[in-house]
Copies of this chain bind each other. A is one copy, B any other.
Amino acid sequence: MSQTGSNGRSASDRLLLISSDCHAGALPVMYEEYMPRKYHAAATEWWLGYAREMMHRAGTFFDQEAVEAYAEQAGEGGGRMKAMTLPDTRPSDDEILAMLADETSPFAPRRGEFDPTTRLAELEADGIVAEVVFPQMAPFGAGLMQYRHPVPPEHNLEGIRAYNRWLADLCKTNPGRHAGVALINVEDIDVTVKEIRNAKDMGLWGGVLLPTSTGDHPYYHDERYEPIWSVCEELGMPIQSHAGWSPDYGDGPAATPMYISEVDMWAHRPFTALLWSGAFERHPDLKYVLTETGCSWILETLRVLEFKADNPIFKHFTKDLSLRPSEYFARQCFIGASFMPAHEGRDRHAIGLDKLMWGSDYPHLEGTWPNTMEALRETFGTYPEAEIRALLGTNAAEVYGFDLDALAPIAERIGPTLSELRAGA
C-alpha cells in the first residue's frame, strides 16, 4: 500500500481512473433540438435507411442462437444483445421510428449514452472519475463511419453540427469530467476550421475526430489539410483517430471477420500520412491520439517506417523533416489503448509508458464496462504502482488537460483501491 502516489498528489490507496475511450450518442429524435427545422424530415429519412441497413445486416449475419451465445459470453454487458430478438418480418417505418426512439430497443442507444445522470452513475459504479467521449452513429452518417454512407455534404455538415451541440450540452452537466471529441468532415477545409473553433468554444476539449476515410478527397498526406493541423495546434485540440470505419465488406460469411481484422488498420493510416506530410514537423505542439486500435502494432509500424525512411529516394522527399518517425511519435503522439489486453500490456515499455492510456470503451459490449475491475486485474494487477497510475489516469490527464486536483476527491469516493486491483493478481 502506498503512502505517496507516484504522481505526488495522493497519499491514498485509491486509484484515479480516467477512461480515454468512451462513447455517447442521443436517440435520433433528440438531435432535432440541435438542428435547423428544415433538415428534420431528411434526418428522419436518413435514420430510417440506416436502421433498415442495421436490421438487414443483423438478420444476415446472425441467427438467434448466435446472439444468445454471444450475449452469454459478453456477460452482464451483453444484456442488450440478449434482449434483441431478430425481426423476422419487414417492420414499417412507424415501427422503426418507435424503435429508434425507444432506449430499450436493441437498435437505439442505451440510456447511459445520452442521459447524463445515468451515465455518471454507471461510470462511477465502474470506478471511473472522468472520460474522453467519442461518438456513436450521428445524424446523416457523421461520426466514426463518416464517408461510409453517401450523404449530401450539406446534410452531413448539419449532422456534425447537431451532434457537436448535443455533446457539448451533455459534457457541461459535469464540468471537467467529460472531454468531448468534436466531429468534422473534410469537404470545405475553411468550414471545418470554423467548426473546430466552434467546438472548442462550446466546451468540447477532447479533440477532433479525424474521419478515417476522406471520401473522394485526397488522403491526409495532402497539403489541403494543413489548416486543420494548424488550428488544432493553436487551440490545443488533439487530433483523434478512432477505429470504426471500413470499406463495405458486403453480406457474405467472411464480412465480419474481415471487418474485425482490418478495422484497426484503416485507423492507423493517418499516422503515416501526418508524419510524411510534415504535420508533426511544422506543428510540434500538435497532439495526435490513436484510440481503440490496439497498441503493439505501433512497434511494427515504426520499425517499417524507420527502415523505409533510410531509402535513398525517400530522403529526397523528406528532407524537410528534422526528426525520425520514432522521434515524432515520442514527441507528440499517444495511444488510447482502451481495454489493453495483457499480451499488449507487455509491450508498454517498448512503446513508452507515457504514450499509453487505458479506456473502458463504455458502454460498448466489447469494452470492460460494467466489469472493469476484473479486466484491470488481468492486465495491470502485477504492474508497479507508478505504472498503474500513469496508464489508468495521469497520462490521460496530461494529454487532455484533466484537472487532477479537482478529480482527486471524486477518486477518493468512487475509485477502486490498489489493493482491490492487486487482489488475485
**Measured CA separation A424–B294 after assembly (Å):** 42
Q: Contacts A74-B312, A256-B317, A316-B66; is A276 near B303 (CB within 8 Å)?
A: no
A232-251 CB mask vs B (1 if < 8 Å, else 0) is 00000000000000010110
Across-interface contacts of A247 in B (CB, < 8 A): 219
A66 (CB) vs chain B CBs: closest residue: B316
**Measured CA separation A69–B255 after assembly (Å):** 47
- A254 touching B269, Cβ below 8 Å: no
A34 on interface, CB distance cutoff 8 Å? no
Q: Contacts A69-B312, A303-B296; is A262 near B257 (CB within 8 Å)?
A: no
- Nearest-neighbour CB distance to chain B for A337, whole angstroms, equals 14
Across-interface contacts of A276 in B (CB, < 8 A): 254, 257-258, 261
Q: How large is the interface on A (under 10, 10 to 19, 20 to 34, 35 or more residues)?
A: 35 or more
Interface residues of A: mostly helix, strand, loop or mixed?
helix
**Measured CA separation A417–B354 after assembly (Å):** 51
**Measured CA separation A366–B307 after assembly (Å):** 14
- B254 touching A262, Cβ below 8 Å: no
Across-interface contacts of A305 in B (CB, < 8 A): 261
- Nearest-neighbour CB distance to chain B for A222, whole angstroms, equals 6
A406 on interface, CB distance cutoff 8 Å? no
Across-interface contacts of A218 in B (CB, < 8 A): 249-250, 252
In the complex, which of the residues B254, B257, B313, B318 contacts A222, with contact meaning CB atoms closer than 8 Å?
Answer: B254
**Chain A interfacial positions (CB closer than 8 Å to B):** 61-62, 66, 69-70, 73-74, 218-219, 221-223, 247, 249-250, 252-258, 260-262, 264-265, 269, 272-273, 276-278, 294, 296-297, 299-300, 303-305, 307-308, 311-314, 316-318, 341, 343, 366
